[in-house]
Amino acid sequence: MAEFIDDLEKYGSKGGKYLGRFVCAAPFETRTEFNFTLPKGKGTDLWVGFLINLEKKGYTVQKVSESLEISPVDVGYYNLTQKQKEEMEARIKQGLASVANAVSDYELLAHDRRKYEELLKMLETGDEHSLRATFIDEVDINTGPNSIKGMVVRWPTIIADFMTLGEKMPEETDVNKIKDELKISKAEAVILSTKQRLYNNWKQIFGPEVRGRLERIIAQQNSRKKTIEEYKNWLKPLIARYKLYKEGLSETAKETLISPYHSPAQAVSTNIISICAWQPVVEIELRGGTFEMKEDTKFGIEPYDRFTKEKLILDKKIGLKSRYPWINEEWVDKSVAEIKKEWLKENRLYYVFLQVKNTRVVLKSATGSEIEDITLNTKNWFVSQNALLALLLELKAKQEEFDREINQLLGITGEEGLKLEEEVDKIIEKWKKEGKEKKKENLIKKKISKFKEVFSKISESLGLESAFSRLGPYEHDFDDRITSIYLPTLAIDFYRPHVVGYLLEAAGVGK
């Protein structure tokens, strides 16, 4: 997260290319490192109290990452964590073995569902040719030498004649009429008449059963999906804790290897936690200029506008997509809706965004005394709502990646669950509506996308993009307004009392 917000600060601060389209600026006095050496337990009390204080002051707090490194010399703590790690390994293996059966059943049911969907499609759309082919290959073939395929040696065109009969006379069983229409021998016409009766009887009996079987398969598939979800929810906290205990797994844990305090020859444990917190800043005044009001939203300025979507999120060079290549428009739209509902305040254009990294080192000396060394690296930003939206979207992306790791362990393909009769009706309706309209719509979208891409390249090459960004809906006067009004407010009203003041007082500095 630190790298992404640094990029945002580069483009949304003083001299930034897109200042005005969004804002992301950090006063120098809000970049601070606090170091407290305290008796064991006091550092943890300070950290927990700090988090509680942030929430009391109106911040929304989220954990970004955590790692743990323990020296084997600290026998008691090391053995305890190793024992917990081994127990978790056993439980995870047991859970994975159980869920493997559920996933296998789910995949088999998915195969059956696809097969019956195909049959239902043939029946509902009146695909006579495909139905007759299915009858020949899967039903009539079981009659042995008397099957249509078995009679090809005597009548080479009998399969084609049976298909033609379905096109011209699908319900006809009169031998003479079949003989005259297809211009074939009476012997072959008798065979085709018999097969026609068998086919129509099969379709009459099997047709209504297909829908019922499909509904039962979907019900069983949903049951297996629910079972897998329960296993997933049960295993998720176990896997998260296991990853925390796994030494040297993350880049954050590797930082402890170069720390002067973490020595394998000493009884040392290092715990690194990163959090972020934010809350809205009440604007001094509503700025004039291009203030875009939206009738279909409760937000004065829509945070998820075209610029935010195309530049801050989906741009492969500076956007979130440069760090998470798998994200797509569908996932972004869904996640943005969740963020706006859970984490953003209506009609609040600007926020204070706080990032804190807590490095907690517990040292146990040879004399038996223990101390707790706490290092807090803090930085505070003044951000516009669309910049905050992009930052919170990165949190969602991290959570999604963790879910994907668990899904890979469980062998889940990601196929969505289905409803019963409603879903069957939707499947049928979808087939009936497929056609030229969809192709035409895709062609129009492709042309519009191409035009936008060409226009964007021309604008960027001519410098128009930078000029237009000055007309954005957010503050763009960095020296007179952002520096003189907002950043001092950020430091005086938020950072000093909520961070500096609390930490120094809680640690007893100056007393």
CB atoms within 10 A of CB 284: 12
Question: Can you give the pLDDT at residue 469?
Answer: 47
Highest mean pLDDT pick, 119-133, 398-412, 442-456: 119-133
- What's the whole-number mean pLDDT along residues 246-260? 51
d(CA 121, CA 137): 18
Q: State the pLDDT confidence band at 249, using cuts at 50, 70 and 90.
A: very low
Burial environment of residue 481 by CB neighbours within 10 A (0 to 12, 13 to 18, 19 or more):
middle
Contact assessment for residue 494 and residue 503, using Cβ atoms and an 8 Å cutoff: no
Kindly report which listed range (4-18, 124-138, 254-268, 354-368) carries the lowest average pLDDT score.
254-268
**Token couple for 161:** 């004649």
Q: What per-residue confidence (pLDDT) applies to 251?
A: 46
Q: How high is the pLDDT of residue 46?
A: 95
Q: What is the pLDDT of residue 170?
A: 84
Sequence-separated (6 or more) residues with CB below 8 Å from residue 320: 4, 312, 313, 314, 327, 390, 393, 394, 397
Residue 102's pLDDT band (cuts 50, 70, 90): confident
Average of per-residue pLDDT across 66-70: 81
Has this prediction a pTM greater than 0.75? no
Residue 290 has pLDDT above 50, yes or no: no
Q: Percent of the chain, pLDDT > 70?
A: 79
Helix axes 175-182, 158-168, angle to 10 degrees: 100
**Which is more confidently placed, 132 or 425?**
132
CA distance linking residue 267 with residue 77, whole number of Å: 9
pLDDT in tens, 77-94: 777 777 888 888 888 888
Looking at residue 152, what DSSP letter applies? T
Task: Select from 222, 210, 209 the least CA-distant residue to 121.
Answer: 210
Give yes or no for a contact between 469 and 17, defined as CB atoms under 8 angstroms apart: yes
Question: Is residue 294 predicted with pLDDT exceeding 50?
Answer: no
Q: Which residue has the higher pLDDT, 440 or 166?
A: 166
- The per-residue pLDDT for range 330-371, each reduced to its tens digit, is 999 999 999 999 999 888 899 999 999 999 988 887 777 888
Please state the rounded mean pLDDT for residues 398-405.
85
pLDDT (0 to 100) of residue 291: 45
Q: Do residues 394 and 415 make contact, with C-beta atoms less than 8 angstroms apart?
A: no
267 vs 471 pLDDT, higher one: 267
- Average of per-residue pLDDT across 207-233: 88
295: confidence class by pLDDT, cuts 50, 70, 90? very low
Write the CA distances from 152 to 139, 145, 191, 212, 325, integer angstroms. 17, 10, 12, 35, 55
In the numeric block, which tokens belong to residue 130? 């495909």
What share of the chain has pLDDT > 90, as a percent? 31
Say if residue 3's pLDDT is above 90. no
Question: What is the pLDDT at residue 419?
Answer: 42
> Long-range CB contacts (< 8 A, 24+ apart) of 488-495?
488/27, 489/281, 489/284, 490/27, 490/30, 490/281, 490/352, 490/380, 490/382, 491/27, 491/29, 491/30, 491/380, 494/279, 494/281, 494/352, 494/354, 494/380, 495/27, 495/29, 495/30, 495/352, 495/354, 495/380
Amino acid letter, residue 231: Y
pLDDT in tens, 156-174: 888 898 888 888 888 888 8
Say if CB 376 and CB 31 are below 8 A apart: no
Distance CA 67, CA 253 (A): 5
- When pLDDT is cut at 50, 70 and 90, the band that residue 23 belongs to is very high
Backbone angles phi, psi at 285, to 5 degrees: -160, 160
d(Cα 383, Cα 479) in Å, to the nearest integer?
16
Cα separation of 359 and 364, whole Å? 16
Residue 480: pLDDT above 50?
A: yes
Mean pLDDT, rounded, of the chain: 82
Residue with the bigger pLDDT between 264 and 363: it is 363
For residue 285, name the pLDDT band (cuts at 50, 70, 90): low
pLDDT at residue number 288: 44
Question: To 10 degrees, what angle do helices 186-245 and 421-433 make?
Answer: 120
Quote the Cα angle for 455-457-458, to 5°: 65
Three-class SS state of 364: strand
